[in-house]
Amino acid sequence: MGVLRTARPTAVRGRSWPFGGLAVVLAAAVAAAAVAWYTIPPTGRAAPAISGVAAQPEPGATAYTGHQDDRTTPDGRNAKQAVSQSALVVVYELTGAGGARNLTYVGEGGSLRQQDEVATPWAVSVQRAAAADAPSFSSLVAQNVGDGELGCRIRVNGAVVAQQSVTGVGARLSCVS
């Protein structure tokens, strides 16, 4: 007895298949052009006049000169220099007898720093700059290795802004300010 063989169906492509690929490429090109048009700043060209009236900046507005770092305030100062900066010294501390693992904290420039395991007591000092009026974000997260207490503290310019403690193996600790 023979084995009955059935024919496999073959894929049939219609006539519109090549045009479908072309349509996708054309749509992607239009989308890229639209994104570029709205995100790339103008290269020093003046805004067109409306009904013969030249565009005037609003009183007190920051004048745009083509690059973000080159903006000036109405009195001629560089906009970057006009923002009052304050130096912050952030000290992260961990206390306890058993150590900690999976340690994550906010480092210089706002980047996250991680360490697999640390012995306690542990501390690190980070210097950051922030706008004088803006709040600063600091965070320290760790996991207790021992079954004793694990504590964290965050100091900004000497003042304690966050303090927390946990007890137990594997307990997670989070100090946020």
| Contact in structure between 126 and 107 (CB atoms under 8 Å) | yes
- Which are the contacts of 46, defined by CB distance < 8 A and separation ≥ 6? 55
Domains of the chain (ranges, CATH numbers): 85-176 (2.60.40.2880)
158 Rama sector, left if φ>0, alpha if ψ -120 to 50, beta otherwise: left
Per-residue pLDDT tens for 94-146? 999 889 999 999 988 888 999 999 999 999 999 988 776 777 788 999 999 98
The average confidence (pLDDT) of the chain is 74
Which amino acid is it at 26?
A: L
Does the predicted TM-score (pTM) go above 0.85?
A: no
Closest CA to 87 of 125, 47, 116: 125
Q: Which residues of 91-107 are buried (b: 16+ CB within 10 A; e: fewer)?
A: bbbbebeebbeebebbb
| C-alpha to C-alpha distance for 59 and 34, rounded to whole angstroms | 31
pLDDT for the residue numbered 130: 77
The pLDDT score that the predictor gives to residue 19 is 59
Q: What is the pLDDT of residue 62?
A: 47
Distance CA 173, CA 140 (A): 8
Integer Cα distance of 145 and 118 in angstroms: 10
